[in-house]
Structure 1
Amino acid sequence: MAGKVRGRSSQLLLVLLVLPAISAGATAKLYSPADRFLLNCGSTSDGLDADGRKWVADTNNSTWLTDSGKSSIMAAADEMDSALPSSTPYMTARVFTMEAMYNFSVNPRDRHWLRLHFYPASYNELRPEEFRFCVTTSTGVTLLHNFSVYFTTKALTQAYLIREYSLPRSPEGFVTITFSPTPSSNVTYAFVNGIEVVSMPDIFNDPVTMVGFADETVDVAGSAFQTMYRLNVGGAYIPPSNDTGLTRGWFDDTPFVQGASPGVVYSAGPRFHIKYPSDAAEYAAPPEVYLSTRSMGSDARMNQNYNLTWTMEVDCNFTYVVRLHFCELQLVHPNQRVFDIFINNKTAQTDVDVIEMATERGVPVYKDYAVLMGNVTGDDMLWVALHPSVMLRPQFYDAILNGIEVFKLNDTDANLAAPDPNPSKLLAEAELGWGRSAEFSTDDPGNMATVMGGTAGGAAAAGIVAAICVVVYNNKTNKQLAAGSDSHTSSWLPLYHSHTSGKSSGHITANLAGMCRHFSFAEIKAATKNFSSDLAIGVGGFGVVYRGVVDNGTKVAVKRSNPTSEQGINEFQTEVEMLSKLRHRHLVSLIGFCEEDGEMVLVYDYMEHGTLREHLYNNSGKPTLSWRHRLDICIGAARGLHYLHTGAKYTIIHRDVKTTNILVDENWVAKVSDFGLSKSGPTTVNQSHVSTMVKGSFGYLDPEYFRRQQLTEKSDVYSFGVVLFEVLLARPALDPALPRDQVSLADYAISCKRSGILPDVVDPAIKDQIAPECLVKFADTAEKCLSENGTERPSMGDVLWNLECAMQAQDMFDGAGSVASGRPVLEPSTSNGSTASFTTLGTSCTSHPHETCVIVETDDEVVVDRAAFSQTVQPTGR
């Protein structure tokens, strides 16, 4: 049997290597809606959102509001949260003091998307918690009941909400949306920031069979439904502007993947052609959904012992339709890959063969399944699982999936509303460690420290995140789009960022301006093609980052601030002040800035290979790095941090060390980035710390700094210790979906090390590459960095020394192994475990693993003599 398994794996690898590229591009027919209303509620002017869509003021047409707005007021939000994608439509609101209606004349032959946009803020001095309301439609469907945007966003750690519904045809030719303040002993109000009413095609034409009840079906065509999840499985975020005219957002499935293994991500090349079987199928999903897939991998024996699983939280007592999207990108014959589908531990379908359903490779198909979620324990989680079919003896024991959509259908009372999240339940979840990784800033760190108690960081830090959402409003969650791999949380679950008060906007002083280049805004616009969305490579609290070109060919990264964000002002000031004075090989260089016409723009060297984090996980489409390559990057980052701590006039504490802030340039040189939170350290020998409010990222945050609000360079050392273990284990710093004792990477890694099982949990992609002595030295260094007391942690210089010693141990191991086995020294691998061919250290290597590049070390610049990376193709599954 083992021989057969190995044979099948080898055949699969052969298929993957010899499949020819298809030259045609992937395109889809665009749906042209008959009706498209985008209302900027409470505004007197039109505006553009982050996707360039035009929103019209709801005052433009007196018929939209049935009473011409007499029962409502127009209000502006008191402040703009940095997590908002744009000011439109969120910075103005229509506030209702009594029941009021929006009315839209529509095509009676069409279904319609209805999207409601909410931003919880103070409007006309009305506190956000005073808004509680119901929303109903002219067809009698209740969308929201006794709903609080404020408490819901706090519970979900979000800055804003989007609720997406699909409404059935209206024979009368109009859609009416009614907002009603909830009757209460206290005065309540209703509000809305934006309303979308857009025609949509019929995406459900046939009844859907109930899972577990073959003779029962659900009529979706006559129902209203709410979009709960829309996931691009194995792929990156797809913005509404890239959809097939239906303006849907498709989100990374990674946060929802559960189980023994996350599987393997595969993406077809840009020349691969998706062949839609019909016009209707083209509207099911954009080509990008079908061009990436998540499979179980090439290990047939392992695949038979686990399920590829996704879990998603839903509301109880509703029926849901689960739509699964498939497209075979690799295999070409029936019975090569056959699998079973389970939903909520019930068999949804057996012996699924995508090629048999679609007739050929590259043709997308989808399947719909209905499931009833009851009201018993565990019924608030919807499970989708795939398992290889054994009965048909396919050529490969594997399963694939390209996309997941989950829709909630209205119940028999025409209701789609669910209760607000329960704060007491939230606190209970917090005690169980169900937190969220959070970059945060608070004006009351004392309160947060009280919640934190005396815990040394890890699981308790993860667990109290949800509780902090209830106790403290000023909470931020990390939102990032890595270059080439836009990572989003669901549009219906946007990450929450708090607004941090900052200093008044001030101009960069002349002496600082003289230390780096001053760009005109016209130059910035030319460099980024007027901030083209096609050149956007990331987004954060400061603003959007674009790829650009200046001076006739020099690639740069352009970070444009959100003009209304005071946090951006602070970060802009800090970044220029810090980086204008710092130049080091392992720090991202600031080329210049622009402060003109209310714009704040920073221009950096362009980092060709993005962030370290992108190269640790197999869902980004970036090469997964070999062990030696990872260790080399850690050494480079340690050099950059060591320079910050000791090489400048005063100690500089980075305060936000994490894998997304370690970038890699075109030569694979690591560079520390993002100095927006940096602080100057003690300036006299009598000072041991700097007292400051707590800022940083949960999971990486020094627990001693968290408790005492006393910042030292050892806080960076602690964060770097988490980075080291993340590099070794290839798992996030916080993962709330894991069992309680595994939520925190710091706690889990230390526990594994002390119990002697750390080698067993090392990233399988690199496990066999690490010299035993190197692993011991590396793990010891990481553990010391995570000491509870800062005084017990090594300096960054000692960390650097220990990592260099670990590299020496690896050099000796690789040198002996290379002679004995002829294997290459460095093997950066692709997302599915195979090695990738790319240029590194200035040397283009295609099959010459022993080419080297020697660079001289200076006071401020250090480059280590390293062998270039092997290009030997040896695919393995993770």
Structure 2
Amino acid sequence: MKYRTCLLLFSVLLITLLIITATAQEEAPPPMIPPKAPSYIVSCGATEEETGDDGRSWQPDDKYLNYTGEKPKAAVAAYQDPNLGSAVPFMSARIFEAPGGYKFTVPTDARVMIRFYFYASTYGDLDAANSYFALTVNGFQLLSNFSASIATRALTQAYIMKEFSLLPSPSGVLGVLFTPSADYKGAFAFVNGVEVIPMADIFDDSPPLLGLGDQTVDLTTYGLQSMYRLNVGGEVIPPANDSAGLRRTWYNDFPYIFGGTDGRTVYKKDVHYPSEYVPESIAPRSVYTTSRSMSEDPAVNRKFNLTWVFQVDANFTYMVRLHFCDGEMTRANQRPFSIYLNNQTAQHTADVIAWTGGKGIPIYKDYAVYHSDKNGDDLWLALHPNEESHPEFVDAILNGVEVFKLNSVSKRSFAARNPELSAMMSRHEEDVRKKSFGYSGGANAHVIGAIAGGVTGLAAVVVVSAVVLHKKRRTVGTTRSGSSSNWLPLYGNSHTSSKSTGSRKSTNSSHLSTIAQGLCRHFSLQEIKHATRNFDEAKVIGVGGFGKVYKGVIDGTVEVAIKRSNPQSEQGVNEFQTEIEMLSKLRHKHLVSLIGFCDEDDEMALVYDYMANGTLREHLYKGNNPPLPWKQRLEICIGAARGLHYLHTGAQYTIIHRDVKTTNILLDGKWVAKVSDFGLSKTGPNLNNQAHVSTVVKGSFGYLDPEYFRRQQLTEKSDVYSFGVVLFEVLCARPALNPSLSKEQVSLADWAMQCQRNGKLEEIVDPLLKGDINQECLKKFADTAEKCLADAGIYRPSMGDVLWNLEFALQLQENPKAAVVEQKGEEIGGGDGGGRRRELSTVDEEVSVLMGDDTDESEIFSQIVNPKGR
């Protein structure tokens, strides 16, 4: 009875509690949702609303203009760079030949994110090369004496985008003012697009200022310029996938990793997002699902830091925001580590689990550091395991990183110098200026837009001369490159996409024809269709990144290979133009010959000499062809090395191929190797081992130079690395990447190097070559390939050194007794291969070109290097 009474009372109590709870829920007021503040997406100079490739509507700027005197004029770009990706907002611009700008209504209590887009082209009779201006917004000086033309030329970007987070405006008005520079006659300002986005105050902390005791930086009193925004260990997060409607882009961190170890990446789906430490406005969920930690070897981790390097402007304070989410550890002190900024301790003991109290909970930490001239141009971030507390794992972890420049306190300014042109580009322009003084290049005005847009490859160098000759203007003094605010590699991907625009015929055809005129034959589309029987699929002999390759016949009897562009291809107008201009000016026995091109009715096609024996890869493992004997493989490698050596040293400018692989080494009817496919090539005058081209990474996985991938700094040693992979591919007859193999064997370069170091290389040599290779020849060949794959470019040989050693390996194969011939002092090196080796290689190239394609270069070279050949 008592039990039933208690049960009844408990039921009544429970029902009463539920009723009270429900009533409270019904009567509770709905959560306050702040009204959505107005955002502005403005296409400057546009006459009507336009839709960009991202689907957003860009409004014309007329109703936001603010000026005195004559209305600033609208203009249309003379040329659409194919790397823009979208015509909106770049093809229209607002020109300010006197001070003027815009006014936007904004909330009085919210920060504003503002972005400016600049595409340096020709606008009517105004060339962006003459544009120098200052930009101020609500008393903040964002830019001073800024030249979008210098920035895009120096950084090989199609456009420049600047992003700032500014303090709330008490007046509710955001005033934007462009002021042409008074230091340059005829200077003007221009802008293509403006975005204004009210934002939650994600900068309300007071991070410690390193090196100054307990001093902190009150972020609520500063404006910030976005410098870097990286999704560490993960893929690019596009604007559409960003959080809080801010449309930020989060780039992969790999190009900024410094040193010999890049650790390991981890993906963890189980993330408690948003967390009490991270609202959605801080970063999107994807940032916290991927991370980079150190290697699985504690001994290695003790010796190295996990390090990133960022190029910045000196004499500014930077706020570095680090994002963490540990999805592997479960307890404190399992993975503590230290954080260093510019060799100063930012956090002695960082323990993500101790901070958050649990697994998979996101958190972020802010640190401020002043970057003086003494630090140079590089801001260093390093993580190192902290073993003082005897942790369970010797490791460190990071999920995301953002770097912001704070305005200078005294001047409320972010302004820094324009970036420098590279040393090789400066020397080239100076040479052109000296040789061509007095020449008027007015006829080339339509070409200038291409260089202003940052066209990559040889096209950039060719058109630079048009810019210099056309303008005859005063040289801009830029004393150093400390302006990574202009460099902005975090936005580089969108700037230099290789996708062509859908309207390539209207925007590029006449431009391309002008440059290519007189360099090679211009075929009509009808001729191309006739040669390929209207692109008959039965004529297809290959497919590449550019499109399908057809076998055809021109002029009745001449067999040719015709490469037709695929509109969906990642390679487009830029690669098409580069290939024409490269191969039209280069003639060498070991470079494929370009006969002509077609650019008509939205069709792009390239016509080459027909290579009867196809690609080298087809004769190694991708085809039904009989296996090549070792000596023939070696001769093919020597031929390809000669072609690359000529590109690096024998042409007017150093040319870096950038896509060396076995499918780009073609074989003619006599089995002569010819290097092909110059669509990704880069060039510059007098490039040496100490100079480089800063460029977005392009190439083929499995062959990519890891140093180039990390640093985005291209040298001819990047080709040497790729060629080292080719050498092992020839020796082992397997792909550069084979995902079906075990983890340690997937990459041929890694696996071959491991076998070479362990003395087991013969175990992975093509079984069909067993007994066919002389041991001394194999040793010389393998040593050469190994040195090509050195992690740092300075330790790799030049192509001249590689060529010499391959020739010597051939001598060893043909005459083993030649192993004693003059080896003293002739070991392969990591320099330019100077002295006798470089001299002999250069002579060989000159003889090859002078004697014509029928010359037996092996005989010529053997007479030079083999004493018995005389």
TM-score normalised by structure 2 residue count: 0.57
- Looking at structure 2, the residues matched to 292 and 638 of structure 1 have their Cα atoms a distance apart, in angstroms, of 43
Shift of 1:185: 5.0
Residue 38 of structure 1 pairs with residue 46 of structure 2: no
Q: 1:285 aligns with which of 283, 286, 290?
A: 283
Task: State percent identity of aligned pairs.
Answer: 30
Q: Which residue of 2 aligns with 1:52?
A: 55
One-letter amino acid of the structure 1 residue matched with residue 407 of structure 2:
N
Residue 441 of structure 1 pairs with residue 444 of structure 2: no
Q: Which has the higher helix share?
A: 2
Give secondary structure in 1 for the equivalent of 2:66.
coil
Does structure 2 retain, via aligned residues, the 8 Å contact 1:275–1:363? Answer: yes
One-letter amino acid of the structure 2 residue matched with residue 772 of structure 1:
L
Shift of 1:302: 1.1
Q: 1:560 aligns with which of 555, 560, 568?
A: 568
Q: Structure 1 residues 398, 185: CA separation in 2 closer, same or farther (over 3 Å shift)?
A: closer
Q: 2:351 aligns with which of 350, 353, 373?
A: 353
Q: Which deviates more, 186-195 or 437-446?
A: 437-446
Shift of 1:334: 1.7
Q: Structure 1 residues 566, 277: CA separation in 2 closer, same or farther (over 3 Å shift)?
A: closer
Give secondary structure in 2 for the equivalent of 1:330.
coil
Shift of 1:697: 2.5
Q: Structure 1 residues 142, 659: CA separation in 2 closer, same or farther (over 3 Å shift)?
A: closer
Equivalent positions of 1:56-455 (< 5 A) are 56-59=59-62, 62=63, 64-67=64-67, 70-138=70-138, 140-184=139-183, 186-244=185-243, 245-268=245-268, 271-278=269-276, 281-376=279-374, 378-412=375-409, 413-423=411-421, 440-442=457-459
One-letter amino acid of the structure 1 residue matched with residue 50 of structure 2:
G
Does structure 2 retain, via aligned residues, the 8 Å contact 1:158–1:493? Answer: no
Post-superposition Cα deviations, 1:547-593, rounded to whole Å, max 9, x if no partner, equal: xxxxxxxxxx9753799x7558779999xxxxxxxxxxxxxxxxxxx
Does structure 1 retain, via aligned residues, the 8 Å contact 2:619–2:627? Answer: no
Post-superposition Cα deviations, 1:110-129, rounded to whole Å, max 9, x if no partner, equal: 21110000011111121221
Post-superposition Cα deviations, 1:93-117, rounded to whole Å, max 9, x if no partner, equal: 1111100120111122221110000
- Looking at structure 2, the residues matched to 339 and 372 of structure 1 have their Cα atoms a distance apart, in angstroms, of 23
Q: Which residue of 2 aligns with 1:772?
A: 761
One-letter amino acid of the structure 2 residue matched with residue 208 of structure 1:
P
One-letter amino acid of the structure 2 residue matched with residue 345 of structure 1:
N
Equivalent positions of 1:338-737 (< 5 A) are 338-376=336-374, 378-412=375-409, 413-423=411-421, 440-442=457-459, 490-491=491-492, 494-495=495-496, 501-503=511-513, 507=525, 510-511=529-530, 512=532, 514-516=534-536, 559-560=567-568, 567=574, 635-636=621-622, 672=663, 696-698=680-682, 727=702, 731-732=706-707
Shift of 1:220: 1.0
Q: Which residue of 2 aligns with 1:709?
A: none
- Looking at structure 1, the residues matched to 684 and 663 of structure 2 have their Cα atoms a distance apart, in angstroms, of 15
Post-superposition Cα deviations, 1:490-521, rounded to whole Å, max 9, x if no partner, equal: 34994498989424997575554744579xxx
Does structure 2 retain, via aligned residues, the 8 Å contact 1:699–1:745? Answer: no
Give secondary structure in 1 for the equivalent of 2:279.
helix
- Looking at structure 2, the residues matched to 438 and 789 of structure 1 have their Cα atoms a distance apart, in angstroms, of 32
One-letter amino acid of the structure 2 residue matched with residue 152 of structure 1:
A
One-letter amino acid of the structure 1 residue matched with residue 314 of structure 2:
C
Q: Structure 1 residues 279, 199: CA separation in 2 closer, same or farther (over 3 Å shift)?
A: farther
Does structure 1 retain, via aligned residues, the 8 Å contact 2:232–2:401? Answer: yes
Q: Which residue of 2 aligns with 1:788?
A: 800
Give secondary structure in 2 for the equivalent of 1:155.
helix
- Looking at structure 1, the residues matched to 124 and 463 of structure 2 have their Cα atoms a distance apart, in angstroms, of 30
- Looking at structure 2, the residues matched to 360 and 228 of structure 1 have their Cα atoms a distance apart, in angstroms, of 31
Q: Which residue of 1 aligns with 2:744?
A: none
Q: Which residue of 1 aligns with 2:736?
A: none
Shift of 1:701: 14
Does structure 1 retain, via aligned residues, the 8 Å contact 2:578–2:680? Answer: no
Post-superposition Cα deviations, 1:337-386, rounded to whole Å, max 9, x if no partner, equal: 1100000100000111111112222211110000011123x332111000
- Looking at structure 1, the residues matched to 754 and 176 of structure 2 have their Cα atoms a distance apart, in angstroms, of 60
Q: Structure 1 residues 424, 659: CA separation in 2 closer, same or farther (over 3 Å shift)?
A: closer
5+ long unaligned stretches in structure 2:
1-32, 429-453, 466-474, 479-488, 501-507, 515-522, 539-543, 548-564, 582-598, 607-616, 648-654, 689-697, 729-746, 766-777, 789-796, 815-870
- Looking at structure 2, the residues matched to 166 and 31 of structure 1 have their Cα atoms a distance apart, in angstroms, of 20
Shift of 1:230: 0.6
Does structure 1 retain, via aligned residues, the 8 Å contact 2:250–2:490? Answer: no
Give secondary structure in 2 for the equivalent of 1:363.
coil
Does structure 1 retain, via aligned residues, the 8 Å contact 2:271–2:288? Answer: no
Give secondary structure in 2 for the equivalent of 1:502.
helix
Shift of 1:732: 4.8
- Looking at structure 2, the residues matched to 46 and 637 of structure 1 have their Cα atoms a distance apart, in angstroms, of 54
Does structure 2 retain, via aligned residues, the 8 Å contact 1:158–1:495? Answer: yes
- Looking at structure 2, the residues matched to 445 and 228 of structure 1 have their Cα atoms a distance apart, in angstroms, of 31
- Looking at structure 2, the residues matched to 384 and 263 of structure 1 have their Cα atoms a distance apart, in angstroms, of 15
Q: Structure 1 residues 154, 443: CA separation in 2 closer, same or farther (over 3 Å shift)?
A: closer
One-letter amino acid of the structure 1 residue matched with residue 52 of structure 2:
D
Q: Which deviates more, 243-252 or 695-704?
A: 695-704
- Looking at structure 1, the residues matched to 283 and 174 of structure 2 have their Cα atoms a distance apart, in angstroms, of 26
Q: Which residue of 2 aligns with 1:461?
A: none
Q: Give the superposed CA RMSD.
A: 5.7
- Looking at structure 1, the residues matched to 619 and 280 of structure 2 have their Cα atoms a distance apart, in angstroms, of 43
- Looking at structure 2, the residues matched to 57 and 131 of structure 1 have their Cα atoms a distance apart, in angstroms, of 22
Shift of 1:735: 6.4
Does structure 2 retain, via aligned residues, the 8 Å contact 1:156–1:493? Answer: no
Does structure 2 retain, via aligned residues, the 8 Å contact 1:746–1:786? Answer: no
One-letter amino acid of the structure 1 residue matched with residue 76 of structure 2:
A
Does structure 1 retain, via aligned residues, the 8 Å contact 2:278–2:364? Answer: no
5+ long unaligned stretches in structure 1:
1-29, 431-436, 449-466, 471-487, 519-538, 543-556, 575-594, 603-630, 663-670, 705-721, 754-760, 803-878
One-letter amino acid of the structure 2 residue matched with residue 107 of structure 1:
P
Highest Rg: 1 or 2?
2
- Looking at structure 2, the residues matched to 439 and 388 of structure 1 have their Cα atoms a distance apart, in angstroms, of 41
Give secondary structure in 1 for the equivalent of 2:84.
coil
Post-superposition Cα deviations, 1:246-270, rounded to whole Å, max 9, x if no partner, equal: 10001111111102312222223xx
Does structure 2 retain, via aligned residues, the 8 Å contact 1:72–1:94? Answer: yes
Q: Which residue of 2 aligns with 1:554?
A: none
- Looking at structure 1, the residues matched to 605 and 366 of structure 2 have their Cα atoms a distance apart, in angstroms, of 47
Shift of 1:424: 7.8
- Looking at structure 1, the residues matched to 178 and 128 of structure 2 have their Cα atoms a distance apart, in angstroms, of 16
Shift of 1:769: 4.6
Does structure 1 retain, via aligned residues, the 8 Å contact 2:111–2:200? Answer: yes
Give secondary structure in 1 for the equivalent of 2:800.
coil
Does structure 2 retain, via aligned residues, the 8 Å contact 1:71–1:98? Answer: no
Shift of 1:438: 10
Does structure 2 retain, via aligned residues, the 8 Å contact 1:158–1:494? Answer: yes
Q: Which residue of 2 aligns with 1:844?
A: none
Q: Structure 1 residues 410, 364: CA separation in 2 closer, same or farther (over 3 Å shift)?
A: same
- Looking at structure 1, the residues matched to 535 and 714 of structure 2 have their Cα atoms a distance apart, in angstroms, of 50
